[in-house]
Structure 1
């Protein structure tokens, strides 16, 4: 059986490439909506019920989760980025949101293991529900995007794990939006928590 290998987006212009990428993200979102509704609801419940939320991912996945942490802070939740100098010790009642496309990224799996050892829970965002990260998770949201190592994917024409990383942000923003709606807070209440030392 032959496999089509796409080496670059097939779009012929910058504008059409933007549309192509947006369509890929939309396709992943539709599959998440269809297959992961219960997991997303459980994820929102875990975040809302956590004493504190920590986020961790390597590379671009980690950058996406930093953006998610910022929105959770705007919501009034105590959110921390693993590895930052001001991140406190994680303990019981705390939640780690961890992202790894493959679910095998060493640093992410080790942080998830440390979280479980400290009595915390893990919310995993990954493409592989049979991965080591998923095995450590209390809740796993499967993001049906290509993993970074998948060089023959028909899911995306983008390089490496780009579609997964983009989808992590979309899922994070969706969870924030659900929690915001449940909280009953208005925009001004969130705005009051926005950084004023810029």
Structure 2
């Protein structure tokens, strides 16, 4: 139980250190009636897919980059990118491409400086440890980017919950869940 308690304490610390205004900006984005695209590499990409699925359950039009059925992004769409470092070349390329199409690009990242990038329209800075273990990252007992991935998953799940209208219920969300299992 000591390890579990330490992990919970670490993630709680990360979540409490996020800026509420940035979180609220993400919630406002999720409330919009636009097409949402999600991207990320590695485990961040897996978190992006989980969050995309959660958002789809609310009735939104949602796509994950790299899938064979993902359409082209266009003006008025939103790209939500999950990236610990914010510097992965393939992710930066996707963000620049989306920006060139006049899509809104929102980064969920440990890199608080991403907002300075011309392609970045919004940011949720997640002050968590990544596999890089930069000097400004918090200490963790967890390997690699576990602390970042766990924190982002919880933050984005909460943001989706906060974005739902009162008409959304467990049953209404359940009707969007796959029935081909």
Q: Please, what TM-score do these two structures have when normalized by structure 2? A: 0.93
Q: CA contact under 8 A between 2:115 and 2:121: conserved in structure 1?
A: no
Task: Find the structure with the greater CA-based Rg.
Answer: 1
SS at match of 1:184: coil
What is the match of residue 26 of structure 1?
12
Q: Which runs of 5+ in 2 are unaligned?
A: none
Q: CA contact under 8 A between 2:23 and 2:124: conserved in structure 1?
A: yes
Q: Which structure 1 residue ranges, 4+ long, deviate > 4 Å from structure 2?
A: 132-135, 151-154
What is the match of residue 122 of structure 2?
139
Q: CA contact under 8 A between 2:114 and 2:123: conserved in structure 1?
A: no
Question: Using a 3 Å threshold, how does the CA distance of structure 1 residues 132 and 149 change in structure 2: closer, same or farther?
Answer: farther
Does residue 178 (structure 1) correspond to residue 162 (structure 2)? The answer is yes
CA RMSD of aligned residues (A): 1.7
How many residues get paired?
Answer: 180
Question: Using a 3 Å threshold, how does the CA distance of structure 1 residues 133 and 75 change in structure 2: closer, same or farther?
Answer: farther
SS at match of 2:113: coil
Does residue 196 (structure 1) correspond to residue 166 (structure 2)? The answer is no
Q: Which runs of 5+ in 1 are unaligned?
A: 1-14
CA displacement at 1:171 relative to structure 2: 1.2
C-alpha distance after superposition, 1:130-165 (max 9, x if no partner): 148855221100000012211665421211111111
Q: Please, what TM-score do these two structures have when normalized by structure 1? A: 0.85
